[in-house]
Amino acid sequence: MKFWQVLAVLLVVSCPYAFGQDTIKLLRPVWQSLGGAERASIQQRYVVDVRDPAAYGLVMDNQGVDISTAGTTGGAALGGALANAAYIDRALSPSNIYSAKTQLAAGILGAIIGSSLDKPAIQQYHFRYALKLQGGEITYRESVQGDPFRHPMGMCLELATLSPAPQTLCTQTTADVRKAYLVLPSTEAIPGTQQDTVPNSQEVTVAPAVSGRVDCKLGNLAPVSTTLEKCNSIGGKPL
């Protein structure tokens, strides 16, 4: 989605509500299972970022193998030996004078040149993760990294990058969303009203939709209520 489209949604469509709102990540099946009144109530207080549940998995098992390779020093040793031998052969000729310092310098220079053939040590670890998807299916993902620390069992990971994701994206249910974003805390109840006398009520009263407005879908964002003209102007799709 282009930046200007996201900006248009925030400033044009949701201008009265967007400022100061937090963004919440909800799984697409969970969002779609909510009633229209429930979705409207959530959108009055939050910016909803709808995510695909197939993009996340819960770590059920992990296995690792150390595939690090040691560095080599044979090139430096060979270079130093060849330089020493060449200097001694040259120094033993009648026209040359042997010098221990010159031989040492030649050996060091040869070792430096020979070290270009050596390879540095590489620290690498190969991990294989067994991940449980939202629907219960088990899949595998592999990672090669330079440190020995792996993700523990029970952590939620984004499958594309194998990076940690919010734990709710692996275990989120409709009941969790209703409890977190729809049920008002008891401290917000107005004393003496019917809200205090109705036990276990989770109903949310939502104002009826304004005449002439439509639900506008733009990219990965949840549909928002706006006019048909504004929806078309930002490239959205009326629902």
In a domain, 207, yes or no: no
**34 lies in the same domain as 97:** no
Full residue range of the structural domain in which residue 160 is found: 57-68+123-165
Torsion of CA 131, 134, 155, 63, to 10 degrees: -10
**234 lies in the same domain as 189:** yes
In a domain, 160, yes or no: yes
**95 lies in the same domain as 129:** no
Give every residue of the chain whose pLDDT is below 70, as ranges: 1-20, 73, 87, 89, 92, 95, 98, 103, 183-212
pLDDT attached to residue 183: 65
pLDDT attached to residue 18: 45
Nearest to 111 by CA among 121, 100, 99, 103: 103
pLDDT attached to residue 9: 53
pLDDT attached to residue 3: 54
In a domain, 224, yes or no: no
**182 lies in the same domain as 234:** yes
Tokens (6 digits) for 63: 């296995």
In a domain, 87, yes or no: yes
pLDDT attached to residue 64: 92
pLDDT attached to residue 6: 52
**127 lies in the same domain as 153:** yes
pLDDT attached to residue 235: 76
In a domain, 130, yes or no: yes
pLDDT attached to residue 35: 93
pLDDT attached to residue 175: 93
**16 lies in the same domain as 62:** no
Scanning the structure block, which residue is given the tokens 């995510």? 51
